[in-house]
Amino acid sequence: MKLEGRAAIVTGGGHGIGRAIALRFAAEGCAVAIAGTARERLEATAQELRGQGARVQVSATDVGDEAAVERMVAAAVAEFGRLDILVNNAGITGPTAAAVDIARAEWDRTLEINLTGALLCAKHALPHMIRAKSGRIINITSVAGFIGYPLRAAYAASKWGMIGLNRTLALEAGPHGITVNAIAPGSTRGERMSRVIQARAQALGKSDAEIEREYLDPTALKRMVAEEDVAATALFLASDEAASITGDTIAVSGGFRI
């Protein structure tokens, strides 16, 4: 039980990577608050977590809304009496379009959720961790944060930005005994990746299979990552075993060529 007695917030916790992380943390004894905007999915995941015997809280929260984020963090602390771990996983795929065709509203919303949301969650979680003189923040970025990504400018910019935010938060939080690290998944099998492939195929006039191959060819393992692989890395970073790791970004990408 690597996280026994601890409490975590996982944003975007109702599905995909967030759900996998919440389930893995709960299996290791952690109380978990899951947040997101899809209430039905949050409740379904909460039911799974309770089935594991976990203490669970559900928060319908748009991380781009600072007042909502502040309420989310306060509610988790009130419920569990502590906050040890924050996983900034909430994110959207953003537009698939050339930069000259991106609508300003799409750009703003992608940055608001993927980057500003992570800042706001950290802003309101850190005071609780600083008082406790310990804590873990884990930011879910992407290998898109290391590369140029044609037709995906908003998403790539948000993920590059998260890596910079991650390093900065690590420097600020380190003197208080808090570690801050990022995980950069590669193409991860699931609904979100399927939507990205479909949108890209449509934009380029190619088949879904052709686009999927373009994502897999640059990897050593020639396959997509499993959500559970990312969750396992998050568990490591949240545990005492990673006490001396901070400010780093760990790729879980199947050997994607960066």
Enumerate the active-site residues: 155
Give the Cα separation of 214 and 2 in Å (integer). 38
Q: Specify the pairing of strand 85-88 against strand 135-140.
A: parallel
β-sheet with 7-11: strand ranges across: 56-60, 31-36, 7-11, 85-88, 135-140, 178-185, 249-252
Q: Which residue type is seen at 196?
A: V
- How does strand 7-11 pair with strand 31-36? parallel
Q: In this structure, what DSSP letter does residue 176 have?
A: G
Contact call for residues 187 and 225 (beta carbons, < 8 A):
yes
Tell me if residue 137 falls in helix, strand or coil.
strand
